[in-house]
Amino acid sequence: MSSLLKLSQVEAYIQQFHILHDIDFEVPKGEVTVLLGRNGAGKTTTLRTIMGLNPVSNGSVVYKDEDISNLKPHLIANKGIGYVPEDQGVFEDLTVGENLRVAMKREDQETTERLEWILDLFPDLKKFWKKPGGQLSGGQKQMLAIARAYVNENDLLLIDEPSKGLAPIVVEKVMETILQMKEKTTILLVEQNFLMASKIGDRFYIIDDGQTVHNGLMGELKEDKALMKKYLGVS
Amino acid sequence: MDLIASLTVNGLATGMLIFLLAAGLTLIFGLMSVLNFAHGGLFIWGAYTGVWIYYVTNSFLLAIIVAIITGLVLGLITERLIIKPVYGNHIQQILITLGFMLVLQELIKVVFGPDVKAVSPPAWLEGSFQLGDVTLIKYRLFIIVIGFLLFFTIYLILKKTRIGLIVRAGVMNREMVQTLGINIRFVFMAVFMVGAALAALSGVLHAPYSGVIYAEMGLEFSILAFIVVVIGGMGSFTGSLFAAILVGLAQAFMAYYVPALSLAVNMLIMTVVLIFRPQGLFKVKG
């Protein structure tokens, strides 16, 4: 198993609060790795720490055999990591087209093809191309955030709770898209919706109180009802 | 009719000068959340270096270029040395930039002397011309044209280019911009330098308009610029144009009809706006 990203004994604080105590996991290339855990367990902080938005106080974050701990966020992004934050981070005054244009590092053939591919998956974005991001529905914002992260040639996408607050039909659409993206890129997904996570994910890590406490293949987790109940509240 | 047109031209010219100063201020605040009270210092340095070159070479165009370069260089120094250590702390920003404003002001006296300096427009912009019944002063029209040209140029850059989109996106969500691989610190610095250059340009254009320059005028003008930024909406570039024109016109008309209220009118407008629309006339969404 060749891992694209590896976190070893990562610790992180938000102000004086010790949020991540001991995060250890690997993201294998070409797979979808899912971070599971209850609210407040430290999943979002883990993604933010990988992106350099929270400092690593101890441990290391290694991407493609290079230690990227505490690099500036733009340098981390330029190494080929795309990020879809929990709140989607859509630029509200910019139109859909402008949101995508800000993200596009190049405007070459390859980027255009990627853009067209993702727009075919999310036709709403084409339809509302000139609409300000702030006027989109929650689902459309999520589509825009995913498209924005995908439009550049990133080898790894960090996606934080893409199903949060969305109607079931939109969740289906987002899930289908992530499944198709899985063919083209490696994904690290934070997801509370276990049904979605289990359909998309290849392997999982459970984070509890800032520590990775369990990991394995997603198929194994589905069978382990006791573990799911203990850490995820799923019965 | 002549009077109304004259007052309108006066008001628009004053408004444009304030706009040039306020535009930089609003971009700097909007993007970097920095309260830069040293902005007036950049204004006077633009005025003095420009006027000095104007005295020496008799070329107003060269004066404008030198003022802009002064603004860019001082902007770079201010951002790197004064602002960078106090990012994220408004109290410290107010204290240090006010202090730096006074330093810039006193340095003007050291370098150029404490006396008030008289400045007249260049020969090609002197005098007036008739448009029907209305007498229009050339230099004021020149300021209005320059102001609108700059507004539309910057507006187009902000609206149509990727650089402009990055700046606007940075105003809304700078963290997200970084995660798209954009060095927001570098963007901050560039915007700060452009803002400083606009302040310096405003300074050198103001010199022949008012006829005199003096070290303290920076503080006076920067207060006006802050009022404009608050009225227009903190961080809104278009808002600062509308607010500057509003303040300029109000000041010009009040100075003629109710002179006692000419200074108070700006505060009055700001108070009314803050009561009924605390976010300013144009809100920038975060």
Minimum Cα–Cα distance from A54: chain B residue: B175
Residues of B in contact with A78 (CB under 8 A): 181
Q: What is this model's ipTM?
A: 0.92
CA distance B229 to A78: 35
Amino acid at the residue B174: R
B157 in reach of chain A (CB within 8 A): no
Contact A101 B284 (CB under 8 A): no
Percent over 90 (pLDDT), chain A: 71
Q: Once rounded to an integer, what is the mean pLDDT over residues B13-33?
A: 85
Say whether residue B179 is in contact with chain A using an 8 A CB cutoff.
yes
Q: Residue A1's pLDDT is what?
A: 60
A40 near B CB under 8 A: no
Closest CB to B181 among A92, A99, A105? A105
Residue-range domain boundaries for chain B: 2-216
Please spell the DSSP secondary structure of B11-64, one letter per residue.
HHHHHHHHHHHHHHHHHHHHHH----TTHHHHHHHHHHHHHHHHHHH--HHHHH
- Specify the pLDDT at position B285: 52
pLDDT band at A210 (very low <50, low <70, confident <90, very high): very high
Which residues in chain B (41-100) have CB-CB distances under 8 A to chain A? none
A89 with B175: Cβ contact below 8 A: yes
Q: How confident is the model at residue B224 (pLDDT cuts 50, 70, 90)?
A: confident
In this predicted model, which residue has the larger pLDDT, B53 or B137?
B53
Q: How far apart (Å, rounded) are the C-alpha atoms in residues B176 and A108?
A: 23
Q: What is the pLDDT of residues A9-38, one digit of tens each?
A: 999 999 889 999 999 999 999 999 999 998
pLDDT grade for B146, boundaries at 50, 70 and 90: very high
Q: Which residues pair with A207 in a beta bridge?
A: A212
B138 in Cβ contact with B125 (< 8 Å): yes
Mean pLDDT of B113-132: 91
Calculate the average pLDDT of chain B: 91
Which residues of chain B does A102 touch, with a Cβ-Cβ cutoff of 8 Å?
Answer: 162, 165-166, 169, 177, 180, 182
Any idea of the CA torsion for A127, A133, A139, A144, to the nearest 10 degrees? 80
Closest Cα in chain B to A103? B180
The beta strands (E) that lie in A15-105 are given as 17-28, 32-36, 56-63, 66-67, 81-84
Residue that the structure tokens 């920076």 belong to: B218
- What's the predicted TM-score (pTM) here? 0.83
Model confidence pLDDT, tens digit, residues B232-255? 998 888 999 999 999 999 999 999
CA–CA gap between residue B179 and residue B181 (Å, rounded): 5
pLDDT score for A61: 97
> Do A98 and B179 count as a contact with CB atoms less than 8 A apart?
no
Q: Is the pLDDT of residue B286 over 50?
A: no
Min CA distance, B237 vs chain A (Å)?
Answer: 13
pLDDT at A77 over 50: yes
- The structure tokens listed for B199 are 């302040």
